[in-house]
Amino acid sequence: MKKTSLKDIADQLGVSKTTVSWVINNKGDEKKISRETQEKIFELADRLNYKPNQLARGLSLGKTNSIGLVVSDISNVFYAKIAKVVETAAEKHGYNIMYCSSDENPDKEQRLIQMLKDRQVDGLIISPSKVDSSQILQLKKENYPFVLIDRYFPRIDTNYVTVDNEMGSEDLIRHLIGQGSRRIGFISVSSHLGVIKKRFAGYKNALKKEGIKFDNKVVREVDYNDVEGTIATAIRELIHPPYKVDALYFATNYLTVAGIKTLNKLQIRIPMDVAVVGFDDLDFFDITYPPITAVAQPIEEIAEKALEILIDEIENREATTPKRKVVLPTQLRVRRSCGHVNI
Amino acid sequence: MKKTSLKDIADQLGVSKTTVSWVINNKGDEKKISRETQEKIFELADRLNYKPNQLARGLSLGKTNSIGLVVSDISNVFYAKIAKVVETAAEKHGYNIMYCSSDENPDKEQRLIQMLKDRQVDGLIISPSKVDSSQILQLKKENYPFVLIDRYFPRIDTNYVTVDNEMGSEDLIRHLIGQGSRRIGFISVSSHLGVIKKRFAGYKNALKKEGIKFDNKVVREVDYNDVEGTIATAIRELIHPPYKVDALYFATNYLTVAGIKTLNKLQIRIPMDVAVVGFDDLDFFDITYPPITAVAQPIEEIAEKALEILIDEIENREATTPKRKVVLPTQLRVRRSCGHVNI
DNA sequence: GCACTTTGATTTACCGTTTAAGTGTGTTAA
DNA sequence: TTAACACACTTAAACGGTAAATCAAAGTGC
């Protein structure tokens, strides 16, 4: 028992496919199809449980009402939440989402974007992992609607929605210094990424403004593909002489989690032995031991804004209006890990 | 500059679309197309950056190489991880995933499943939120390939992959009792769900085996749409007279998180004032205060097994082989929240 | 020399939908 | 009396691909 198609309905009623198509798409009145015929069509469509084939529809219309979302890791809470908000918001506009994880792998990202284009998504939301922005330039050249989130390329004119990483980072570190820290280790991954650079810049700004000399020796980069292992090494080095940092700043949420785990394992007490702060807040940072001070990103806003811009671009393609660049403020969440505070 | 199609290549080379299609799909040799022609086609396809339109391909083939994944909440770490594993595994088989969150809303779930079918996904992986299984029956009737994960319907013969919720729950509670707890509150959501029932059954089994009388008064169900609020009420009631539980068992990961937050707010010490255990482990349960004892589900296995079964069913549709039912064991992760243990 | 096969394609139809253009009939206005 | 128009549709092409059937020319076997 195969699925019913327009043709089945048309044949059974002795009308043409066109008529059925019009009626089903509620253009019956506009196209002056008689009430009687319309009713017959609706009735039969209902009875046969007719559902339009969206592939055929998409092929014919050149529009699929679907959007691709490419992030580095959908199982990272930050992106999972973005995904959820985007999905919910998209549904309201009649769009569906296809998500993919690039695993910070530029080749995979390339393939995913191509795959989504092959499937004719109407637009893309991308958190690019690439240093090299060739595929973004390509999308731009093709005039394919897309919005970057979280990460973007300052030299390329594209839509993007991000947060003020530099300022957020600076606030965080100045607060940390205010709590008494003087030697602050900086631990990151993928330091080639713009956002990480900004966070690093904010860290340096803070040191400067607070009159602390920047020391490149306490800056470490761990390997995305072996966070657990490399972060342990980095931390062990930093907390011992000759570096002996009195605070650690983790540049992403998963680094913070991995860092705390390592510190626990090494029996380093937080914040007594070493204070800890992280960029990007997580739901459970207030029930960890100790609760972790972090900079929070406005996830909902990022996701909603990105989708809004994208849909606007998809639906009003006319003029290539100036690309929209949105930078949202972050929020400092002070908890116990950064030093002696009453919370 | 529109996208190049088969026809463009065919026209420019003066051959037919079919020939081009064959060559592009590497059937050139099989179909005995001359080396020369093949090379010309490949060369031009490359030069014009030809990429097959997957909508058209899907329409023609009746196969899209895509799979739908419907879970209750993609931003829940458990499902986000499932999604990630499924996505990675699917890629290896040449399939893409479309995920959706049903928000535990049966109507939305219904719509999502229909939407995915409209988009002609080749199969579905579903974690059903519905009590009423009509849509699952419908899928079964249509012989649509699908696999249920996490949750399933014992009365319906379908493929499913789940864990032994009852046994996992029992182990957990027996361990808790072994640590000295006697009055154990049970907090759940959506108690109509099979998995929750099983966890509840395991809880009761444990009590029975350990000679503790079951008391329905310390069983609470909170509202999925207001976990924070309703769980606070439930906890406050349970820890005070006349109930005065000495332990709390949270039936899902997010309940555990919300529960710990509430307990912290109320300044109840864990495990001194009340011990805590939860079903479903999370990455950070070992860095919370205190680290939380929980039952872990083998997420990777669940996801991989489900996908394996689904792809098998999609690709070897012949006989409706007996449906496959997989029940995986859980793993107890003992940490400090359940009482005095040396870890 | 004739039938038969192989080679290297082409033609045609189809997947399910949308849509521009056309058609036959009856009514109306000039 | 005839052109124009409204009505209620239908026809046919298009979207971009796949697949079965067909075909012409060359090669092979006897």
Interface test with A, best of B119, B134, B267 (most A CBs within 10 A): B119
Q: Kindly give the residue spans of alpha helices, DSSP state H, lying in A210-338.
A: 227-239, 253-265, 299-315
Nearest residue, CA→C1' of C18: A60
> Does B36 contact strand C, using a CB cutoff of 7 Å?
yes
The predicted pLDDT at position B168 comes to: 97
Q: Which residue of A has its CA nearest to B68?
A: A98
Residue A327 in this model has a pLDDT that exceeds 50: yes
Inter-chain residue contact B96 with A100, CB threshold 8 Å: yes
Q: What are the tens digits of pLDDT across the range B7-44?
A: 999 999 999 999 999 999 999 998 989 999 999 999 99
Chain B residues touching A261 at Cβ < 8 A: 286-287
Interface test with B, best of A70, A74, A264, A302 (most B CBs within 10 A): A74
Residue A288 in this model has a pLDDT that exceeds 80: yes
The rounded percent of chain A whose pLDDT value lies above 90 is 82
Inter-chain residue contact A55 with B119, CB threshold 8 Å: yes
> Does A254 contact strand C, using a CB cutoff of 7 Å?
no
The predicted pLDDT at position A25 comes to: 96
The predicted pLDDT at position A319 comes to: 53
Interface test with B, best of A1, A2, A51, A55 (most B CBs within 10 A): A55
The predicted pLDDT at position B134 comes to: 86
Inter-chain residue contact A96 with B83, CB threshold 8 Å: no
Inter-chain residue contact B84 with A96, CB threshold 8 Å: no
Residue A341 in this model has a pLDDT that exceeds 50: no
Chain A residues touching B96 at Cβ < 8 A: 98, 100, 115, 119
Q: What are the tens digits of pLDDT across the range A187-220?
A: 999 888 889 999 999 999 999 999 999 999 999 9
Chain A residues touching B2 at Cβ < 8 A: none
Q: What are the tens digits of pLDDT across the range A119-152?
A: 999 999 999 987 678 889 999 999 999 999 999 9
Name the closest nucleotide to A7, judged by C1' and CA: C16
Inter-chain residue contact B264 with A287, CB threshold 8 Å: yes
> On chain C, which bases lie within 7 A of the protein's CB atoms?
7-21
Q: Which residue of A has its CA nearest to B287?
A: A288
List Cα–Cα distances, A279 to A126, A218, A224, A299, B330, in angstroms: 20, 17, 16, 13, 34
Give mean pLDDT, residues A27-45.
93
The predicted pLDDT at position A1 comes to: 64
The predicted pLDDT at position A340 comes to: 60
Inter-chain residue contact A120 with B53, CB threshold 8 Å: yes
Residue B318 in this model has a pLDDT that exceeds 60: no
Q: Which residue of A has its CA nearest to B102?
A: A88
The predicted pLDDT at position B19 comes to: 95
**Quick one: three-class SS letters along chain B?**
CCCCCHHHHHHHHCCCHHHHHHHHCCCCCCCCCCHHHHHHHHHHHHHCCCCCCHHHHHHHHCCCCEEEEEECCCCCHHHHHHHHHHHHHHHHCCCEEEEEECCCCHHHHHHHHHHHHHCCCCEEEECCCCCCCHHHHHHHHHCCCEEEECCCCCCCCCEEEEECHHHHHHHHHHHHHHCCCCCEEEEEECCCCHHHHHHHHHHHHHHHHCCCCCCHHHEEEECHHHHHHHHHHHHHHHHCCCCCCCEEEECCHHHHHHHHHHHHHCCCCCCCCCEEEEECCCHHHHCECCCCEEEECCHHHHHHHHHHHHHHHHHCCCCCCCCCEEEECCEEECCHHHCCCCC
Minimal CA separation from B142 to chain A, in Å: 8
Name the closest nucleotide to A10, judged by C1' and CA: D10
Assess contact for B116 and B124: CB atoms under 8 A: yes
Inter-chain residue contact A100 with B100, CB threshold 8 Å: no
Mean of all residue pLDDT scores within chain A: 92
Q: What is the pTM of this model?
A: 0.90
Q: What are the tens digits of pLDDT across the range B183-221?
A: 999 999 978 888 999 999 999 999 999 999 999 999 999
**Strand A325-328 to B66-71 pairing:** unpaired
Q: What are the tens digits of pLDDT across the range A246-275?
A: 999 999 999 999 999 999 889 999 989 999
Nearest residue, CA→C1' of D11: A16
Which of B75, B261, B284 shows the shortest C-beta gap to A257?
B284
Chain A residues touching B257 at Cβ < 8 A: 283-284, 287
> Does A156 contact strand C, using a CB cutoff of 7 Å?
no
| Strand C near-CB residues (< 7 Å), B 58-77 | 59-60, 62
Chain B residues touching A97 at Cβ < 8 A: 98-100
Mean of all residue pLDDT scores within chain B: 92
Minimal CA separation from A329 to chain B, in Å: 23
Q: What are the tens digits of pLDDT across the range B107-155?
A: 999 999 999 999 999 999 999 987 678 889 999 999 999 999 999 998 8
Least confident piece of the model among A6-20, A317-331, B12-26, B90-104:
A317-331
Chain A residues touching B101 at Cβ < 8 A: 84, 87-88
| pLDDT band of B104, cuts 50, 70, 90 | confident
Chain B residues touching A290 at Cβ < 8 A: 289
